[in-house]
Amino acid sequence: MIVLAHPARSTYPCRVPALPSKRGPLLRFVALVALVTGFAALTLLSGPDKEALAAVVHRSPVAGPLVAVLGSAILVTVLVPRTLLALVGGVLFGAVGGAGYVLVGVTLGACVAFGVGRLLGRDFVAAKLRGRMALIEAAVARRGAIAVVISRLIPLVPFGLSNYSFGTTAVSFRSFVGGTLLGAAPATLAYASLGSFTMHGNALGATLSGAAVVTLGIGGSIGTFLVWRRRPRKTVASAAA
C-alpha cells in the first residue's frame, strides 16, 4: 500500500505587508503646528538682545556681516518679524549693507522653514484639499513665484509664518526662493533705510523711507485683491460636468 505524505507545513507565520498608517501625516502636521506655536511664544516672551548684537557687530568688521546673515536666518525661523531685522540691520550697517545682509539671512531662514513645512505638513494638507480649495491651490502653484512676491509685499502677512505655510502647499521650491528674493527686497531696503536715516537724524530720508513702506503695503494689498478676484470659482464637480 502506497502512503501519500502530506507536504510539510511551514512553521513560520505568513507575513502580511503592513499598510501605511493614515495617522502619520496628521501627527507630522500636529508637530508642525506645535513647533510654530512654540517659536511664536518664544519670540513674544524673549526677543533678540539688540545690545549684544551691536557689540558683536562693532567688535569685528568680518564677524559683523556673518552674524547679521546667520542671525537673521535663525531669528526669522523662530518668527521674529523681518521688518524688525531690517530696521536693526539699517541701524548697524547702513541702508544698503543692512538690507543686503538681512535679505540674504531671511531668505536662508525662509528656505529652512519652507523645508520644515513641506516635510511635516504637505501630506496632511494635500489629503484634505477638496473642491474649490484644491483648484485655488493648483492656481497658486501655477503662479507660485507671483503668489510669493505678493505675500512678501503685504504688511499684514507674517513673513515667518508664511514660510512654513508655503511649505505645505504645492508651490515649488524654486518659485518660493525666487519669489522671496524679489518680494522681500523692496520692503527690506525700505525698512533698512528707515532705520539708518532715523539713526542718523535724517528727517527727509526717514520720511521718504516711511512713504516707501506705506506705498509697498498698499501696492501689495491691491495686488492681492486683483489676484483674489481671478480665483477659480468652479468646484471640481462642476468643472467635470
| Cα 73 to Cα 58: distance, rounded to the nearest angstrom | 20
pLDDT given at position 52:
62
The residue type of 31 is: A
All three cell numbers of 92, joined, read 548697524
**H-only helix segments in 60-201:** 63-77, 82-93, 95-128, 131-142, 144-153, 159-167, 173-199
Identify the burial level of 115 via C-beta atoms within 10 angstroms of its C-beta, where 0-12 means exposed, 13-18 middle and 19 or more buried. Answer: middle
Backbone angles phi, psi at 179, to 5 degrees: -65, -35
| Cα 233 to Cα 110: distance, rounded to the nearest angstrom | 31
Structural domain includes residue 9? no
State the total domains in the chain. Answer: 1
Structural domain includes residue 20? no
Q: What is the pLDDT of residues 25-58, one digit of tens each?
A: 888 888 888 888 887 787 667 666 666 666 656 6
Structural domain includes residue 239? no
pLDDT given at position 143:
82
Structural domain includes residue 1? no
Q: How large a percentage of the chain has pLDDT more than 70?
A: 75
The residue type of 73 is: A
| Cα 224 to Cα 141: distance, rounded to the nearest angstrom | 15
Q: What is the pLDDT of residues 86-127, one digit of tens each?
A: 998 998 899 999 999 999 999 999 999 999 999 999 888 888
Structural domain includes residue 12? no
All three cell numbers of 104, joined, read 540674504
Domain assignment of residue 60, given as a range = 25-38+50-234
Are 213 and 194 within 8 A, CB to CB? yes
* pTM check: above 0.95: no
| Cα 50 to Cα 71: distance, rounded to the nearest angstrom | 11
Cell numbers 520720511 correspond to 207
Are 52 and 87 within 8 A, CB to CB? no
Q: How many other C-beta atoms are found inside a 10 Å radius of the C-beta of residue 205?
A: 16
Instruction: Identify which of 48-52, 71-75, 158-162, 176-180 has the greatest average pLDDT.
Output: 176-180
Structural domain includes residue 15? no
Residue 4 CA, chain-centre distance (Å), reads 72
pLDDT given at position 229:
67
